[in-house]
């Protein structure tokens, strides 16, 4: 025979598991509560019987006369009212000898006397039926025990009442479990509905369409926060995919332009024989396009490594003047060609903490950008000072300025304020994006201030000492 396959609870749907847990807990609660009520009710019934036996025995004891050392009831017609009531339900009051023989008995003969019953106090004895017995010694004037007074009450009615209660509990338990199961299914469906909606939404999402949302309208509990977090995640993913598509498209366009130029110049040059000077001129033009491709490839490689946290990171204290002076000297020939005035104001001994190679690339990008977009005979100013948050470096240039609607997009990849002019200057639209990544790598801040007709200032704040930056961000 094949073994019966076992059902693994962890493979059941969450709704089923939740309902089973509801049933289990409800069953335990009802069982414990029912047991407690049953025990308390049984104790109450037994207490009532015991109290009646005690009253009857006390009243009967006052009607006992001892003649010649033998106890006997004086007058059975004068028995107490409580005893008369009990006599109607298999109740006996009797006088026994010391050995347990019945001398006198009033009521039903519900229990045969035995030595086991001859003990002062309460006893519960099962014979043909269940009985409650209260025994009290009868003493002579000198204190000797000359017999026993015993009250015996049948517990048939008590047991019948308790039996009915047990049946009721057994009948109520399935009903409660059924209602609990239905309620558990309802609550599980209601509770897990947003999760089902999340599942359906996730199944509908593809790389080409991230516009679906759960739009949960319920209470802001754990499920509500999960749904809201999922919607926020989808919004971030959608924005990231849009940026990625735009980045990929822009990168392809930037790569295609110089490659198209290269292909065209090569085809024109090879179409017929030309002079040596023509070949030289063509090769020089091709070299410029190759340089542009190299710059673009390096920029894309830098941004890719930055996204993957794989940039090199060797921070150390750096004298800012020693870092910037060679960079300014490097851009001076370009500035002189455009008759630009470059001024540098850096206090001696001003230190920043960072990676020298990255900082050189940062300020070279900012200064190169300033030279390209400053009109002839304009001014470029490089200032630095120590502030509470670190070291503040400003690269300012005179010129047309940047419209405010472009400011917030300047550090986006491939973004250009003036595409045509950027193409003429050879810009790729990645310089400021790289600058931003370098500043963030150092735990600093970068911002732009610009006034139309007055000029633009790039502001960089770098840490003056080692902070919690670090290689963890790389």
| Full pLDDT tens readout for the chain, 474 residues | 455 555 566 667 777 887 888 788 888 888 888 889 999 998 998 898 889 888 888 888 888 888 777 888 877 665 544 444 444 557 888 888 888 888 888 877 666 666 667 778 888 888 777 888 888 888 887 888 888 888 888 888 888 888 898 888 888 888 888 888 888 788 777 777 777 777 777 777 765 667 777 777 777 777 778 778 878 888 888 777 777 777 676 667 667 767 777 777 777 777 777 777 777 777 777 777 777 777 777 777 777 777 778 888 888 999 999 999 999 998 898 889 889 999 999 998 899 999 999 999 999 989 988 998 889 889 999 999 998 888 999 999 998 888 888 888 888 877 776 644 444 455 567 888 888 999 999 999 999 999 888 889 999 999 887 553 443 444
Give the CA angle between residues 302, 352, 438 to the nearest 5°: 15
Q: How far apart are CA 92 and CA 45, in angstroms?
A: 19
Domains in the chain with CATH codes: 14-163 (3.30.450), 233-305 (1.10.287.130), 309-473 (3.30.565.10)
DSSP annotation string for 144-162: -EEEEEEEEEE-HHHHHHH
Coil, helix or strand at residue 25: helix
Q: Is 413 left (phi over 0), alpha (psi -120 to 50) or beta?
A: beta
Look at the pTM and tell me if it is higher than 0.75: no
Strand 455-462 to 445-451 pairing? antiparallel
DSSP state for residue 2 in the 8-state scheme: P
- If one counts every other C-beta atom within 10 angstroms of the C-beta of residue 398, the result is 19
Q: What is the pLDDT of residue 303?
A: 76
Q: In what order do the strands lie in the sheet with 379-387?
A: 341-345, 379-387, 390-397, 455-462, 445-451
Q: How far apart are CA 415 and CA 431, in angstroms?
A: 10
Q: How far apart are CA 2 and CA 204, in angstroms?
A: 42
Q: How far apart are CA 286 and CA 322, in angstroms?
A: 36
Rounded to the nearest integer, the mean pLDDT of the chain is 80
Distant-in-sequence contacts of 83-86, Cβ < 8 A, 24+ apart: 83/56, 83/59, 86/52, 86/56, 86/153
pLDDT digits (tens, 9 = 90+) for 358-412: 999 999 989 988 998 889 889 999 999 998 888 999 999 998 888 888 888 888 8
Q: What is the pLDDT of residue 383?
A: 93
Q: What is the pLDDT of residue 472?
A: 42
Q: How far apart are CA 420 and CA 415, in angstroms?
A: 12
Taking the CA atoms of residue 269, residue 275, residue 280 and residue 282 in that order, the dihedral angle to the nearest 10 degrees is -20
Residue 196, exposed/middle/buried by CB under 10 A (0-12, 13-18, 19+)?
A: exposed
Q: How far apart are CA 40 and CA 27, in angstroms?
A: 20
Q: How far apart are CA 430 and CA 446, in angstroms?
A: 15
Q: How far apart are CA 359 and CA 434, in angstroms?
A: 11
Q: Where are the beta strands (DSSP E) in 140-215?
A: 145-154
Q: Which of 288, 299, 314, 287 is CA-nearest to residue 251?
A: 299
Helices (H) and strands (E) in the chain, counts: 10, 14
Coil, helix or strand at residue 93: strand
Q: What is the pLDDT of residue 7?
A: 53
């Amino acid at each position: 025979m094949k073994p019966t396959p076992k059902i693994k609870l962890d493979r059941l749907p969450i709704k089923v598991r939740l309902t089973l847990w509801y049933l289990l807990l409800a069953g335990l609660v009802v069982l414990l509560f029912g047991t407690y009520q049953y025990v308390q009710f049984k104790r109450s019934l037994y207490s009532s019987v015991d109290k009646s036996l005690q009253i009857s025995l006390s009243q009967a004891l006052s009607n006992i006369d001892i003649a010649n050392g033998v106890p006997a009831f004086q007058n059975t017609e004068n028995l107490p009212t409580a005893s008369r009531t009990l006599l109607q339900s298999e109740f006996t009051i009797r006088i026994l000898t010391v050995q347990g023989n019945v001398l006198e008995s009033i009521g039903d003969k519900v229990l045969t006397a035995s030595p086991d019953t001859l003990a002062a106090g309460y006893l519960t004895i099962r014979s043909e039926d269940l009985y409650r017995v209260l025994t009290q010694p009868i003493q002579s004037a000198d204190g000797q025990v000359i017999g026993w007074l015993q009250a015996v009450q049948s517990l048939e009615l008590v047991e019948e009442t308790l039996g009915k209660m047990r049946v009721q509990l057994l009948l109520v338990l399935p009903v409660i479990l059924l209602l609990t199961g239905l309620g558990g299914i309802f609550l599980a469906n209601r509770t897990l509905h947003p999760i089902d909606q999340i599942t359906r939404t996730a199944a509908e999402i593809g790389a080409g369409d991230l516009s679906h949302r759960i739009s949960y309208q319920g209470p802001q509990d754990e499920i509500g926060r999960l749904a809201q977090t999922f919607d926020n995640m989808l919004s971030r993913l959608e924005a990231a995919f849009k940026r990625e598509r735009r980045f990929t498209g822009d990168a392809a366009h930037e790569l295609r332009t110089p490659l198209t130029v290269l292909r065209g110049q090569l085809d024109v040059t090879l179409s017929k024989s030309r002079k040596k000077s023509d070949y030289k001129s063509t090769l020089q033009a091709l070299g410029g396009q190759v340089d542009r491709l190299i710059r673009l490839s390096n920029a894309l490689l830098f941004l890719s490594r930055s996204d993957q946290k794989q940039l090199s990171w060797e921070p150390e204290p750096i004298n800012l003047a020693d870092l910037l002076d060679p960079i300014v000297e490097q851009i001076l020939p370009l500035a002189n060609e455009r008759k630009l005035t470059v001024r540098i104001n850096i206090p001696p001994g001003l230190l920043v903490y960072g990676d020298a190679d990255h900082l050189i690339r940062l300020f070279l990008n900012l200064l190169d950008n300033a030279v390209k977009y400053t009109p002839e005979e304009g001014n470029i100013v490089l200032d630095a000072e120590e502030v509470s948050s670190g070291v503040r470096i400003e690269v300012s240039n005179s010129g047309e300025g940047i419209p405010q609607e472009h400011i917030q997009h300047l550090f986006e990849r491939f973004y250009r304020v003036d595409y045509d002019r950027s193409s003429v200057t050879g810009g790729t639209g990645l310089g400021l994006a790289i600058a931003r990544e370098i500043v963030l790598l150092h735990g600093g801040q970068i911002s732009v201030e610009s006034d139309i007709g007055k000029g633009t200032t790039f502001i960089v704040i770098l840490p003056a000492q080692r902070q919690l930056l670090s290689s963890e961000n790389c």
